[in-house]
C-alpha cells in the first residue's frame, strides 16, 4: 500500500468514528420510547387483573350482605329474643344458625340481644364459641342499632381470624330487640392471587394493609396514623396489634395501580416491580445498537469500495506494463472480496430467518396477551357449571344421608359431565395458545337444550315454572361447537328464569324449534316483564344489566351474542305481543350424525 493510500484511508475511518459518536445519542430516545411502550402494556395488563380481582371480592361480599336483614325475621331467632333464658329456644336457634352457615358458606353467624350479648351462634359447640360474649364495642353493632347495615373488617377477638362482618337489627315494631351478625372469611381471596412478580395490597380506611400477597406486609400502615385513628384502633381492636408499624416501600421500585371500593372504603392496589421493564427495554436498545453498528459497517464497506475504485483509476493512468500487473493483482483482490460478500450474504439470510422466527414468537406472545382480555368472560362461563357442580354435590349429601345410593350416583355422573365441559372450555383456550382452532361440528340441538334444562331443573321446580315444549321428535342438527352451544342455551334459559323471579304465579317458559330454509330457528319465550326500551337497545353491551349487583355483572347476553356470531348464527331480542320476552336463535344447519340422550329429563 502506498503512503498516499494510507493517508487517504485514515481520515475516512476517523469520519466514520465521529459519525458513530454523533448517532449514538439516538439510543437514548429509543430507550425512552421502549420504556414508555412496555410500561403502558404492563399498566393495561395489570388494570385488567385489578378489575377482575375487585369484581371477585365484591361478588363475595354481595353474596352475604343481605343475609342479616333476611334471617332476622326467622321465628326461631325471634322466639329466643323474646325468651333469652329458655334452654329449648337457645338450642333451636343454635342449630338453625349452624344449618344456615353450612348452607351459605359463611364463617360464623350469631345473634346478639339489645345490649350486645351473644345469645346464640353457629359455633356454639366449639371451643371458641361466641355464646355469652359481648360485642357492643364493635362498630357493626352500633351501626345496626342505629338502623344501618353494619359493616366492619377486623380480627376476631375470640377466633383471632380475619373476617368481614355484616350486621342488621332485629325489630319488634319500632324497637330494636337484637342484632344478627354474619362473618365472612376473606382469607381465600389472598390465595387466588398466585405466585407472580406483581403483588396485591388491600388497605382499609386507616391505610392499614388487611389483605396482601406478601404476609410480611400484613397489618402495616401505608401512611402516618392520626391520634384519633389510633384511639379508634384501640377501642374497636380491628387488628392483632394496637400500634400498626409503618410499611416502608420504595416508590421508585414499584409501578403501582390503585382502585377504590367506595362501599367499603378500601383501596386495592397492584404493585409491579419496575425490573419487569428492564429486560425488554435492554433488548430494544441492544437491537438499536446492532442496527447502528450495521449501518456503520455498511458505510465503511461503501467507502472501502470507493477507495478501491479510485485506486484502480489511478493505476490505469500508469504505464501499460504496470497496468497489466495491477490488473492481475486487482482481479485476485476482487475474488477475495466477492468471497467475503457471499459469506456476508449467507449470514444476512440466516439473520433474516432468525428475524422471521422472532416475529412468529412476537405474534404468539400477542395472542397470549389477548387471553388476559378474555379473563372476565372465561370467569363468567366457568361460574355456571361450577354453580351446578356445587348444587349437585349438596344434593348428593342429602341423598346419601337418606341412603338413596342410585340417585346419588346419578348426581355424581352429572358432576363428572360438568367437569368435562369445563375441561372443554379450557381446551379451547389451550388451542388458541397453541395456534390451533376448534372447527365447527354438527351438534344435535335437542340434547344440548335438554342438557341446559337439566342444569336448571332444580331451580325451575323451586320457582314452579311450567315448561311448554314444541320441539320436533327428529333431531335438528346445527353447525356449532358443542360446549359453546350449551353455554349460550344455559345463559339464555338462566336469564329467562331470572326474569320470572319477580312475577307471581303462573310462571311459564315456552320452547319451540323448527327447520327453516336458512337453517334452524329456536324460540325461547317467557311471560315475565319483557325488555324495556333501554334494555332492548343496550342488552348486548358488556356490564349492562337490569339486575342487582348480587345477581350478575351484565356479561351473559354480551357473551351469548359474541358466541352466536362466532358460530355463524344470530341472536334476536324482542317482546312477545302477549307479554314477556322472546329470544330467537338462528343457527346454520349441520350434517346429521348420532343423537345423544340428555342426562336428565328436563320436564321432571
Band the pLDDT of 111: cuts 50, 70, 90: very high
Dihedral (CA of 93, 99, 104, 110) sign: positive
CA–CA distances in Å: residue 96 to residues 23, 102, 165, 311: 79, 10, 19, 105
Query: Which pTM does this prediction carry?
Result: 0.44
202 forms beta bridges with 211, 268
Chain segment 395-424, per-residue pLDDT in tens: 898 889 888 899 888 889 889 888 987 776
Give the DSSP H or E segment for 521. strand 520-526
> Beta strands 118-121 and 108-113: pairing type?
antiparallel
pLDDT digits (tens, 9 = 90+) for 467-511: 999 999 888 999 887 777 887 888 888 888 888 888 888 889 999
Between vectors from CA 495 to CA 494 and to CA 501, what angle results, nearest 5°?
Answer: 90
Highest mean pLDDT among 17-31, 71-85, 582-596: 71-85
Rounded to whole angstroms, the Cα distance separating 498 from 305 reads 80
Q: 364 pLDDT exceeds 70?
A: no
Q: Given 3.30.70, 1.10.287, 1.10.3470, 3.30.310, which CATH number is that of 374-438?
A: 1.10.287
pLDDT digits (tens, 9 = 90+) for 500-546: 888 888 889 999 999 888 889 999 999 888 888 887 777 776 655 66
Query: CA 525 → CA 30, 506, 509, 580, distances in Å?
Result: 59, 14, 6, 7
Domain ranges of the chain: 67-184, 188-273, 321-362, 374-438, 439-604
Name the phi and psi angles at 363, rounded to 5: -65, -45
- What integer pLDDT is reported at residue 108 of this predicted model? 93
φ, ψ for residue 327, nearest 5 deg: -60, -45
Q: Read off the pLDDT of each residue in 441-469 and give the average, rounded to a whole number.
A: 86
pLDDT for position 477 = 92
Three-state DSSP class for 351?
helix
Q: Which of 83-97, 180-194, 452-466, 516-530 has the lowest mean pLDDT?
A: 180-194
Is the predicted pLDDT of residue 337 greater than 80, yes or no?
yes
Put the strands of the sheet holding 570-575 in their side by side order: 465-470, 507-515, 520-526, 581-587, 570-575
pLDDT at res. 435: 40
Domain 67-184 has CATH 3.30.450.20: yes
The whole-angstrom separation of Cα 580 and Cα 195 is 48
Per CATH, domain 439-604 is 3.40.50.2300 = no
CB atoms within 10 A of CB 550: 13
Strands ordered across the beta sheet of 162-172: 118-121, 108-113, 175-184, 162-172, 150-155
Neighbours of 258 (CB within 10 A): 12
- Between the CA atoms of 120, 125, 129 and 130, what dihedral angle is there, to the nearest 10 degrees? 0
600, pLDDT greater than 70: no
Q: Which range has the worst mean pLDDT, 40-44, 239-243, 431-435?
A: 431-435
Return the closest-CA partner of residue 484 out of 439, 517, 534, 417: 439
Q: Do 67-184 and 188-273 have matching folds?
A: yes
> Is it the case that residue 311 has pLDDT exceeding 70?
yes
8-39 per-position pLDDT tens digit: 445 566 766 776 777 677 677 877 787 788 77
Residue 120 has pLDDT above 90, yes or no: yes
End-to-end CA distance of the chain: 102
Residue 345, pLDDT > 60, answer yes
pLDDT reported for residue 549: 42
Separation CA 80–CA 113 (nearest Å): 9
Tell me if the bond preceding 405 is cis, omega within 30° of 0.
no
Quick: pLDDT tens for 161-204: 888 999 999 998 889 999 999 999 887 777 766 677 888 888 88
CATH 3.30.450.20 at 188-273, yes or no: yes
CA atoms within 13 A on the CB side of 368: 8
For 146-155, the pLDDT digits (tens) are 989 999 888 7
Is pLDDT of 363 > 70? Answer: no
Amino acid at each position: 500500500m502506498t503512503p498516499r493510500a494510507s493517508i487517504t484511508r485514515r481520515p475516512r475511518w476517523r469520519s466514520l468514528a465521529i459519525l458513530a459518536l454523533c448517532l449514538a445519542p439516538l439510543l437514548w430516545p429509543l430507550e425512552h420510547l421502549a420504556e414508555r411502550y412496555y410500561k403502558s402494556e404492563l399498566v393495561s395488563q395489570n388494570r385488567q387483573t385489578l378489575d377482575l380481582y375487585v369484581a371477585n371480592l365484591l361478588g363475595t361480599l354481595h353474596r352475604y350482605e343481605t343475609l342479616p336483614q333476611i334471617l332476622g325475621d326467622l321465628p326461631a331467632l325471634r322466639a329466643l329474643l323474646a325468651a333469652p333464658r329458655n334452654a329449648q329456644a337457645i338450642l333451636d336457634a343454635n342449630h338453625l344458625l349452624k344449618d344456615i352457615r353450612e348452607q351459605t358458606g359463611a364463617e360464623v353467624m350469631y345473634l346478639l340481644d339489645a345490649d350486645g350479648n351473644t345469645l346464640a351462634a353457629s359455633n356454639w359447640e366449639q371451643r371458641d364459641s361466641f355464646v355469652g360474649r359481648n360485642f357492643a364495642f364493635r362498630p357493626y353493632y352500633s351501626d345496626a342499632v342505629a338502623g344501618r347495615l353494619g359493616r366492619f373488617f377486623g380480627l376476631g377477638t375470640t377466633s383471632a381470624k380475619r373476617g368481614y362482618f355484616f350486621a342488621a337489627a332485629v325489630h319488634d315494631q319500632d324497637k330494636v330487640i337484637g342484632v344478627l351478625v354474619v362473618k365472612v372469611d376473606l382469607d381465600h381471596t389472598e390465595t387466588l392471587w398466585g405466585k407472580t412478580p406483581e403483588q396485591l395490597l388491600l388497605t382499609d380506611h386507616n391505610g392499614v394493609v388487611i389483605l396482601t400477597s406478601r404476609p410480611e406486609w400484613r397489618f402495616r400502615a401505608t401512611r402516618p396514623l392520626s391520634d384519633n385513628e389510633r384511639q379508634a384502633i384501640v377501642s374497636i381492636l380491628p387488628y392483632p396489634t394496637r400500634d400498626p408499624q409503618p410499611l416502608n416501600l420504595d416508590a421508585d421500585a414499584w409501578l403501582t395501580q390503585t382502585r377504590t371500593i367506595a362501599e367499603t372504603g378500601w383501596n386495592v392496589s397492584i404493585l409491579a416491580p419496575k425490573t419487569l421493564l428492564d429486560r425488554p427495554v435492554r433488548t430494544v436498545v441492544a437491537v438499536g445498537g446492532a442496527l447502528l453498528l450495521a449501518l456503520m459497517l455498511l458505510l465503511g464497506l461503501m467507502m472501502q469500495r470507493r477507495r478501491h475504485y479510485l485506486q484502480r483509476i489511478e493505476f490505469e493512468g500508469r504505464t501499460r506494463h504496470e497496468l497489466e500487473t495491477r490488473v492481475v493483482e486487482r482481479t485476485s483482490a476482487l475474488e477475495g472480496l466477492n468471497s467475503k460478500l457471499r459469506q456476508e450474504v449467507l449470514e444476512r439470510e440466516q439473520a433474516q430467518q432468525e428475524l422471521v422466527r422472532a416475529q412468529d414468537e412476537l405474534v404468539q406472545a400477542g395472542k397470549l396477551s389477548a387471553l388476559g382480555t378474555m379473563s372476565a368472560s372465561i370467569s363468567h362461563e366457568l361460574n355456571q357449571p361450577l354453580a351446578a357442580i356445587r348444587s349437585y354435590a349438596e344434593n348428593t349429601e342429602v341423598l346419601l344421608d337418606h341412603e338413596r345410593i342410585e340417585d346419588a350416583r346419578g348426581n355424581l355422573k352429572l358432576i363428572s359431565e360438568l367437569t368435562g365441559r369445563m375441561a372443554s372450555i379450557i381446551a379451547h383456550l389451550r388451542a388458541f395458545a397453541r395456534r390451533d382452532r376448534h372447527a365447527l361440528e354438527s351438534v344435535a340441538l335437542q340434547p344440548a337444550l335438554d342438557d341446559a334444562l337439566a342444569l336448571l331443573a332444580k331451580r325451575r321446580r323451586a320457582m314452579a315454572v311450567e315448561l311448554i315444549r314444541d320441539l320436533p321428535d327428529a333431531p335438528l342438527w346445527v353447525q356449532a361447537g358443542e360446549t359453546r352451544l350449551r353455554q349460550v342455551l344455559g345463559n339464555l334459559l338462566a336469564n329467562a328464569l331470572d326474569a320470572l323471579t319477580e312475577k307471581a304465579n303462573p310462571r311459564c317458559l315456552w320452547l319451540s324449534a323448527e327447520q327453516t330454509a336458512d337453517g334452524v330457528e329456536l324460540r325461547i319465550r317467557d311471560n315475565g316483564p319483557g325488555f324495556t326500551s333501554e334494555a332492548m337497545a343496550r342488552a348486548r353491551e358488556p356490564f349492562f344489566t337490569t339486575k342487582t349487583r348480587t345477581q350478575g355483572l351484565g356479561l351473559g347476553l354480551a357473551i351469548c351474542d359474541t358466541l352466536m356470531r362466532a358460530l355463524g348464527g344470530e341472536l334476536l331480542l324482542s317482546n312477545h305481543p302477549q307479554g314477556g320476552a322472546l329470544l330467537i336463535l338462528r343457527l346454520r344447519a349441520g350434517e346429521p350424525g348420532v343423537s345423544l340422550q340428555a342426562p336428565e329429563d328436563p320436564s321432571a
